Amino acid sequence: MTTEVLRYSAFTTDPAGGNPAGVVLDAGGLSDAEMLRIAAEVGYSETAFVTPAGPSEYRVRYFSPLAEVDFCGHATIATAAVLAERVGPGTVTFHTNAGAVPVDTDLTGGHATATLTSVPSRSRPATGAELDEVLKALRWAKEDLDPHFPPHVSFAGAEHFVLGAATRERLAKLDYDFDALGDIMRRAGWTTVHLFWAEDHSRFHVRDPFPVGGVVEDAATGAAAAAFGGYLRTIGHLETGRITLSQGVDLGRPSELVVDIGTAPGIRVTGHAVQIR
């Protein structure tokens, strides 16, 4: 039997922008090996596999072409958009390997919009050894870093190494050692390395190398956006408020992610999603 894979791009209203994700709506009969095979055949950074678990509740698993991922933000936004269009807008709960993730959906304005609320975030300073390894694999120097933003390892469903670039030019020139960075990340259990440059207090340009998933870079990374929101709260940059992340520009797939930081432990990430036809 052929499994239907829907293809949506998240954090954009243009199918040529954003980050593509596969969505399989009824995955209850698929084995882990079959889900991994389908994800590899689709070739996107993640494909979401969905099984109904009750009224407005779904079990969702995410697979990259190489491995299962505990939580994926852009595939969550894409999946929620599919459900909003097929079942109707409202609030759904996705039961992921990382925990329960509520998602609010809306169809006004001609485009599906979804807002996820992450599991509780946390963030800790990176060790000197972790920083040295990552910088070597990135081919960056310590002088390339923004001293206002300490390197951290941050979590909001998955762990990400967070590193601030001193200039937009440094961020744009991404030419890293794919195998070396992937090895570091696998040992540490990190999903992406979240690189960013602060345009101002509330707008950031970001890039996310994803070698552990077999992908050089994500065009939009909702899980990292949530972790980044938690990071900014932890370091005291923004205790509450909204930030906007511009991602995918350097890949030719511009994306916009809106992150709301509040007093609740989870971080809210909002974006549009559109079907790729």
pLDDT, tens digit (0-9, with 9 covering 90-100), for 86-132: 999 999 999 999 999 999 999 988 899 999 999 999 999 999 999 99
pLDDT at residue 160 tops 90: yes
pLDDT, tens digit (0-9, with 9 covering 90-100), for 11-68: 999 999 999 999 999 999 999 999 999 999 999 999 999 999 999 999 999 999 999 9
Expressed as residue numbers, the domain containing 67 is 6-117
Secondary structure class of 275 (helix, strand, coil):
strand
| List of residues 6+ apart from 41 with CB closer than 8 A | none
Question: Are residue 170 and residue 239 in the same domain, yes or no?
Answer: yes
Supply the CATH number for residue 17's domain. Answer: 3.10.310.10
Average of per-residue pLDDT across 158-169: 98
Question: Are residue 26 and residue 99 in the same domain, yes or no?
Answer: yes
Closest Cα to residue 122, out of 256, 231, 223? 231
Count Cα neighbours of 130 within 13 Å in the Cβ-side half-sphere.
19
**For residues 210 and 5, what is the distance between their CA atoms, to the nearest angstrom?**
22
Backbone angles phi, psi at 87, to 5 degrees: -110, -35
pLDDT, tens digit (0-9, with 9 covering 90-100), for 256-276: 999 999 999 999 999 999 999
Closest Cα to residue 171, out of 128, 132, 140? 140
Question: Are residue 10 and residue 106 in the same domain, yes or no?
Answer: yes
Choose the final residue of a domain: 117, 151, 168: 117
- According to the model, what pLDDT value does residue 110 have? 85
Question: Are residue 99 and residue 140 in the same domain, yes or no?
Answer: no
Question: Are residue 57 and residue 152 in the same domain, yes or no?
Answer: no
pLDDT at residue 1 tops 70: no
pLDDT at residue 4 tops 70: yes
What's the longest Cα–Cα distance across the chain? 55
Secondary structure class of 195 (helix, strand, coil):
strand
Residue 277 lies in a domain: no
pLDDT, tens digit (0-9, with 9 covering 90-100), for 166-175: 999 999 999 9
Q: Residue 170 has which token pair?
A: 């440094």
Question: Are residue 108 and residue 138 in the same domain, yes or no?
Answer: no
Question: Are residue 220 and residue 168 in the same domain, yes or no?
Answer: yes
Residue 275 lies in a domain: no
**Mean pLDDT, the chain, whole residue set:** 97
Domain count, the chain: 2
**For residues 140 and 175, what is the distance between their CA atoms, to the nearest angstrom?**
9
- According to the model, what pLDDT value does residue 277 have? 86
